[in-house]
Structure 1
Amino acid sequence: MPDTQNNTSWFEAVFSDITVTHNTSSNEIVFTDIMAYGLELNYLSSPYTNIVTSYVAPVLIFITIVTNTLVVIVLLKKHMRSPTNVYLVGIAFSDMFTGFPVLAAWLYFSAMGNDREYVPYDWCFAYRITTYLIPLIFHTASIWITMALTIQRYIYVSHGLKARRWPCTNIRVIYCILTIYVISILSHLSEFISSTFKPIEVTSRVDPNQTVITCFEVFNTWVADGVDLYFTIYFWFRVICINLIPSIVLVVLNVLLICTLRSAERRRMLLLKRNERRLSMKLKESNSTTSMLVVVVSLFLLVELPAGMFTFFVLIENTFEIDIIAKGSFSIITTTLNTLILLSFPLNICIYCGMSRQFRTTFKQLFSGHCFTIN
């Protein structure tokens, strides 16, 4: 029986009810008393969190899958294809697959009643990637695609001459989105290889007279040698590159786009006075697309900024060992912020229908079956 000693790390302050021990003989950090894979995580056991994760979140995810599937179908129609719409397809696809793996895990474990028992050892890694890693990768991609779209739109409306010199074609946007997906995977690759799962035999939750094989998570040696350093680097990278930088860029560009819209509207009114209706109509359509993007980005910032700031304060609190967030409130705040993010996903289709005549017309045609052409 190896000697163990408590190994207090900053990430324990986040998961304050999880016991962490350091195996001095094998230099491994071992989670015990854990239920994400087999034993209950106390920070997820509040009634509020259980209600939201068991009933509210699955419904929101299902609605997102349905609405975003419709968005993708509409935007991939031949007459709808444009660089901006290709970016919107990338965002819709990313948001859809942020939730889909979680819904699949919920259907197997909760809806089918398998959550009454510990997670089987063979399912531990699958549970981790479906409820954490895959959603994290796709949500990261969604954030970066949104930033890329906003940058592209700002260049198009504010620096038209440069945009014409280096035209943003559909194929270039596709390459950009694929590159973002690759970078998103690489940015979280360490989480795939930072730990492994070990089997452990425990008393069954369903039948106390039986035992089942579940698992516990063990950090690999390269992480166990410097747990604090690893989590500090990884989570600060997430906060800076995935939350703060994109949010700052989007806030600045959104303000610039609003200023550009006002200037463009004045030009449009001048064109109308000169009776140049064709140019005025073209500018109106461009302004409509830009206005829609401003609303989409504003909604994005409304839910992402609080989540990013919360993560930032958690890191400040644990890096510098200061009290900012009330103890016991972590799960409630995290659950609320994640729910707001999920709620924002299906709202995009409402924005598209409300602010884009072309999208609205095409969307209606999906249910009427009529063939048509929109100039």
Structure 2
Amino acid sequence: MASRMQFFTFLLLIHLIFLEQSGAVITGPEQIPSYNITSIFFRELAALTAQESFSNFSSFESEEQLKMLHRAFSENSVNASTNTTHDREGDVQHQYCNTSSWTTFHARYHAVHGWTTLVICLFGSVANVMNIVVLTRRTMLSPTNSLLTGLAVTDLLVMVDYVPFCIHQYLWKDRSMEERYSFGWAVLVLFHAHFSQVFHFTSVLLTVTLAVWRYCAVAFPIRNAEWCTMARAKCAILATLLCSVACNIPCYLNYSIHEKNIQNHTLYIVGFSDLALNHGLKDVNFFIYSVVLKLLPCLALSILSLALMDELLLAGRRRAAIMSRNNDSSRTVGAGRQAERVNIMLMSILVLFLLSEVPLATLGLLSVIPNAGFFQCYNLLGDIMEMLVLFNSAVNFILYCSMSQQFRTTFKKVCAECGGQRCRPRQDNNHNPSRMIAKSTNI
């Protein structure tokens, strides 16, 4: 137990160092990072809009410029995505990631990125459906499992939404520019940007809520049943969704669909709205994205995770002291091991979240340091970070199956019922269906 906690502590300390390094770089940029966690589109758009000649859509006056736009979006041209960015002080000399090895790695991975993320999304969609089916069974109902069900629903929505965008952006290449930049596809891209952002941030808030929930269960076991009720779990899920919708309001206003007529071709392109360009909404949106949607959740989850690990160590020592005074400690040992498995599983969820979110938050913040060149790294590593976020949304089913005996038992029962069989729950020594831990905290 102690070695596992030390391992998790080491990982989280690394993430805290990353967060500390990124905490003093909040400045208003001319270029912006991606406002859509699961979408490469705005990263490509940022690479173009970072150049003064593409900061608005009045400069697209020739077929050659149109082809440049088409190559940047359809092929993710290394030259287009690695152009020198432009800020208030002029051209920037890149200091990082501007090597042949970085660009070669980016080009090679990008060639398989579309299929990789599509496979992850298809697997994750099926896995999250199974999570929902199992966690909503009568024997699995609990406040904690309600939060995990909400997490599975949000992850499922993010992945289902990503599939058509992935096909449009990466896989369906044999199209004319009119087809690729039709009004329908522009609506899909804009919808995908907002929809995925809202539900991904809802997933982030649910993960933080889950950490708070588990901390209460470990630090205040007597009051936990009173504080963490099913009704409050449902209210927490609704509150996270409403909070996410409200926090993303500037993002809704930041982008709009622009119609451009070029040499008898009508194209529809998603870009900054007039409100964003004329009233400084870009800077407000960047602050909300980098601080509210990224930095604060990572900081909160890091602090909660460290506090939770400290409480787990204290609880382990208390349990050992009780067992040493109790001659008949078999039941206490069993309950302690069950609770330990749940704690390890939930800590794994938190660590995976930090592994996928902290690099994105850190690099997004560093990318706006004047003359530092981190924006170049953001473009080149965007595909990898996008894949990590999607992977994190798909992997919970594997964690549940590997670490929760009750989840495995219920999953087998569901599969047997779907196969036309009926299986009875295992009986423990008291002739009661085996449960992993108390219903108020189970999975």
> Are 1:29 and 1:219, in contact at CA under 8 Å, matched by a contact in 2?
no
> Are 2:250 and 2:284, in contact at CA under 8 Å, matched by a contact in 1?
no
Q: 1:311 aligns with which of 364, 389, 410?
A: 364
> What SS does structure 2 have at the residue aligned with 1:215?
strand
Q: Which residue of 2 aligns with 1:285?
A: 338
Distance in 1 (alpha carbons) for counterparts of 2:377 and 2:150: 34
Label 1:219 to 1:17 Cα distance change in 2 as closer, same or farther (>3 A).
closer
Distance in 2 (alpha carbons) for counterparts of 1:60 and 1:322: 36
Label 1:218 to 1:264 Cα distance change in 2 as closer, same or farther (>3 A).
closer
Q: Which residue of 1 aligns with 2:183?
A: 121
| 1:31 Cα deviation from its structure 2 partner | 7.7
Q: Deviations over 1:29-84 (max 9, x none)?
A: 75855799977449933434642442111111111111111111111111111111
Q: Which residue of 1 aligns with 2:307?
A: 256
Distance in 2 (alpha carbons) for counterparts of 1:17 and 1:225: 19
Matches within 5 A, 1:361-372: 361-369=409-417, 370-372=422-424
Q: Deviations over 1:146-203 (max 9, x none)?
A: 0011011101210234434x43122221221111111111211222233432322346
Q: Which residue of 2 aligns with 1:323?
A: 372
> Is 2:244 the partner of 1:192?
no
Q: Which residue of 2 aligns with 1:173?
A: 233
My pick for the range that moved more, 136-145 or 188-197, is 188-197
Matches within 5 A, 1:199-348: 199-202=259-262, 212-217=265-270, 219-226=272-279, 229-273=280-324, 274=326, 275-315=328-368, 317=369, 321-325=370-374, 328-348=376-396
Count the aligned residue pairs.
348
Distance in 1 (alpha carbons) for counterparts of 2:116 and 2:48: 25
Distance in 2 (alpha carbons) for counterparts of 1:253 and 1:237: 22
Q: Which residue of 1 aligns with 2:221?
A: 160
Q: Which residue of 1 aligns with 2:100?
A: none
Distance in 1 (alpha carbons) for counterparts of 2:120 and 2:68: 22
Q: 1:45 aligns with which of 64, 77, 82?
A: 77
Q: 1:86 aligns with which of 142, 146, 152?
A: 146
Distance in 2 (alpha carbons) for counterparts of 1:366 and 1:115: 44
| 1:96 Cα deviation from its structure 2 partner | 1.8
> Are 2:155 and 2:393, in contact at CA under 8 Å, matched by a contact in 1?
yes
Q: Deviations over 1:324-357 (max 9, x none)?
A: 42x6443221111111222222221111111111
Q: Deviations over 1:346-375 (max 9, x none)?
A: 221111111111011111222222343434
Distance in 2 (alpha carbons) for counterparts of 1:346 and 1:250: 20
**Matched letter for residue 372 of structure 2:** D
Label 1:288 to 1:35 Cα distance change in 2 as closer, same or farther (>3 A).
farther
Distance in 2 (alpha carbons) for counterparts of 1:313 and 1:262: 35
> What SS does structure 2 have at the residue aligned with 1:345?
helix
Distance in 2 (alpha carbons) for counterparts of 1:112 and 1:63: 21
| 1:16 Cα deviation from its structure 2 partner | 4.0
> Are 1:37 and 1:215, in contact at CA under 8 Å, matched by a contact in 2?
no
> Are 1:20 and 1:31, in contact at CA under 8 Å, matched by a contact in 2?
no
Distance in 2 (alpha carbons) for counterparts of 1:38 and 1:184: 33
> What SS does structure 1 have at the residue aligned with 2:31?
helix
Q: Unaligned stretches of 5+ in structure 2?
A: 1-28, 34-42, 79-106, 426-432, 435-443
Q: Deviations over 1:79-112 (max 9, x none)?
A: 1111111111111221222222120233466656
Distance in 2 (alpha carbons) for counterparts of 1:173 and 1:134: 23
Q: Unaligned stretches of 5+ in structure 1?
A: 1-8, 204-210
Q: Which residue of 2 aligns with 1:3?
A: none
> Are 1:83 and 1:169, in contact at CA under 8 Å, matched by a contact in 2?
yes
Distance in 2 (alpha carbons) for counterparts of 1:242 and 1:304: 10
Q: Which residue of 2 aligns with 1:5?
A: none
Distance in 1 (alpha carbons) for counterparts of 2:68 and 2:135: 38
Label 1:12 to 1:292 Cα distance change in 2 as closer, same or farther (>3 A).
closer
Q: Which residue of 2 aligns with 1:206?
A: none
**Matched letter for residue 352 of structure 1:** Y
| 1:277 Cα deviation from its structure 2 partner | 3.6
> Is 2:210 the partner of 1:149?
yes
> Are 2:114 and 2:167, in contact at CA under 8 Å, matched by a contact in 1?
no
> Are 1:30 and 1:219, in contact at CA under 8 Å, matched by a contact in 2?
no
> Are 2:121 and 2:390, in contact at CA under 8 Å, matched by a contact in 1?
yes
> Are 2:74 and 2:173, in contact at CA under 8 Å, matched by a contact in 1?
no
| 1:113 Cα deviation from its structure 2 partner | 5.6
RMSD: 3.1
| 1:21 Cα deviation from its structure 2 partner | 5.9
Distance in 2 (alpha carbons) for counterparts of 1:86 and 1:34: 49
Distance in 1 (alpha carbons) for counterparts of 2:390 and 2:205: 17
Identity %: 19
TM-score if structure 2 supplies the norm length?
0.70
**Matched letter for residue 125 of structure 1:** V
